[in-house]
Amino acid sequence: MSSFDELLSFDVLSLSEKIRSRQISPVEVTEAYLDRIRETDTQLRAYITVTAERARAAAKAAENEIAAGGWRGPFHGIPVALKDLCYTKGILTTGGSKIFAEFVPDFDCTVWARLEQAGAVLLGKLNLHEFAGGATTTNPHFGICRNPYNLERVPGGSSGGSAAAIVARSAAATIGSDTGGSIRIPAAFCGCVGMKQTWSRVSRYGVMPLADSLDHAGPITRSVRDAALMLQVIAGHDPNDPTSSREPVPDFTSAIGRSLKGTRVGVIKQLLEGVSGEVSRSFEASLAKLRDLGAVVEEVSILSIEQAPAIATTIMFAEAAEFHEDWIRTRPQDYGSDVRRTLEAGMLTPAMYYVRAQRARAVVLAESLAALENRIALIAPAAAISAPRIDVGGRALAASGEPVNMVSAVLRFTAPFNITGQPALALPIGLSSEGLPLSMQIIGRPFDEVSVFQVAAAYEEARGLLPQPKL
């Protein structure tokens, strides 16, 4: 029997080892997490639905199965939670929207089907920016999700609940989704690890779309290794999603712990511009740390990266509007004002602009691949700023009270790798003077998540984890 705090302090790997050796029961871990949700979620609003009874039943089943020698793997008995756009059979799946407020799917998305098959315990469904259509998670229908480091700050989005729950320790691992940065932005603002793997690596079957050609579902976790372990469970071809890749799935942890000595990484010059002084200083310190670890750190240039936000938003607007057409025409008043405006713009996006934006994606990828020649990864800040202030209207506010331009503050850093489909991981690099997390991204070649995890894990081990926020 372990104390409540101790149970919540373990990452997935440590918890899994203790569950496997029966030092800890999945039942007591699940109860600890359910208590923690009760303790924190009135303030945080990370959850939309808590599936307590179902979690208890799954934890008990896991306990019995493990006792009988049927340990399934690292996620057996681990309490997890899903962004509430992941379809779960028999469980409310709202998309953070009024439109789907009472929607109960009759099938599971593949991501959850695979986690459940691996023995994971579902704690509940997590808050998000309505329909994943923004980066604040100031949700007009299910409550304002808040940043665990400062309750007056946004957690980022759209997977704000997924990141807030990780940092608040109200889930051991979560799933988010990322169309323009929606895994990495909340991971950056909340101070945890967010992995957007290569597009098509993970099935999107049963994940409510924002923009099909840019959408990814992926892990948000406390540590790099946890992200690799979770990706291991959910990756691989799925006949229900013909866009999912048949590329072999490697052991994502295989290079974790490998030295960076002699490796070369490229710092994307264009993404060093326009960042706050604190982000710049913290990022420079993280580059110094990588050099200390033996990596050769060099500046690289991707000129077309400046076009990426425009390419991403054109595609996102058009694809989102096509998916939402029936609802936006018949129930426009049921959308929050920001998402509604995006969809209205999408309805009138000329097809020519859409196709041109799609064609331009290959140019950015070609330049990115050139920058990766003889290098194992690229590096950039994950955002220009730390978490901005909450505005009840759904915007994000700077300290001055002026609205933050989220395109130049975050989308410029994250969206390039949605349009190229490359794997990109956000991880914490320190705290600002206001005690808010700062973050960097590590970007790899398509289907080379292994190198991304190698660089990220080496850095994480050298720097150590961020101090826990007081909640």
Partner 1 sequence: MARLTGPAVKMLAQQLYDYNLSDDAAEAVAHMIGAMATYSRRLEALNLTGLQPPFGYPTMIAEAERSLKSSK
Q: Are strands 121-126 and 79-83 parallel, antiparallel or unpaired?
A: parallel
184-223 positions binding partner 1, by CB under 8 A: 213
> 211 Cβ partners below 8 Å, 6+ apart?
179, 315, 316, 318, 319, 320
Tell me which of 14, 280, 307, 405 binds partner 1, using CB under 8 A: 307
**Which of 11, 35, 344, 391 lies at the binding interface for partner 1 (CB under 8 A)?**
344
Residues 129-168 that bind partner 1 (CB under 8 A): none
**Which one of the listed residues 16, 83, 162, 282 is annotated catalytic?**
83
- Strand, coil or helix: what is 420? coil
Residue 83 known to be catalytic: yes
Q: Which of 16, 159, 182, 244 is catalytic?
A: 182
Of the candidate residues 314, 386, 414, 439, the single one contacting partner 1 (CB under 8 A): 314
Instruction: State the nearest-atom distance from the C-beta of 449 to partner 1, in Å.
Output: 20
Looking at residues 223 to 242 of the shown chain, list those that interact with partner 1 (rule: CB under 8 A). Answer: 239-240, 242
- Residues 416 and 294: their CA atoms lie apart, in Å, by 28
Indicate the burial class of 399 (C-beta count within 10 angstroms; 0-12, 13-18, 19 or more).
exposed
- DSSP-derived pairing of the beta strands 424-431 and 389-390: unpaired
CA distance 408 to 439: 16
Q: How far is the CB of 415 from partner 1 (least distance, A)?
A: 13
Is residue 2 flagged as an active site residue?
no
In the region spanning residues 357 to 416, those forming contacts with partner 1, defined by CB under 8 A, are: 357-363
- The dihedral through the CA atoms of 74, 76, 80, 83 has a sign that is positive
Which residues between 241 and 260 bind partner 1 (CB under 8 A)?
242-243
In the structure encoding, which two tokens stand for residue 329, read together? 């025409």
| Closest to partner 1 by CB, 285 or 303 | 303
Closest CA to 34 of 7, 2, 61: 7
Q: 246 or 470, CB closer to partner 1? A: 246
Three-state DSSP state, 305: helix
User: By CB under 8 A, how many residues form the interface with partner 1?
Assistant: 34
Q: Which helix (H) or strand (E) holds 221?
A: strand 216-221
CA distances from 244 to 111, 212, 215 (A): 12, 12, 12
Q: Which one of the listed residues 158, 159, 162, 432 is annotated catalytic?
A: 158
Which residue in this structure is represented by tokens 């309505």? 130
Nearer to partner 1, 314 or 441 (CB): 314
173 close to 220: Cβ distance less than 8 angstroms: yes
Cβ-proximal residues to 384 (8 Å cutoff; 6+ apart), any chain: 274, 275, 276, 279, 408, 409, 410, 412, 413
The reply on whether position 44 binds partner 1 by CB under 8 A is no
- Cβ closer to partner 1: 159 or 368? 368
244 is annotated as an active-site residue:
no
Residue 235 C-beta: closest distance to partner 1, Å: 18
Binding mask 114-133 for partner 1 (x = CB under 8 A): --------------------
CB 304, min distance to partner 1, A:
6
Which CB, 94 or 349, lies closer to partner 1?
Answer: 349
Which among 12-20, 139-147, 302-310, 397-405 is the span making contact with partner 1, rule CB under 8 A? 302-310
Total residues found in the chain within this entry: 471
Among 325, 373, 402, 434, binds partner 1 (CB under 8 A): 325
Residues binding partner 1 (CB under 8 A): 213, 239-240, 242-243, 304, 307, 310-311, 313-314, 317, 325, 328-329, 332, 341, 344-345, 347-350, 352-353, 355-363
List active site positions: 83, 158, 182
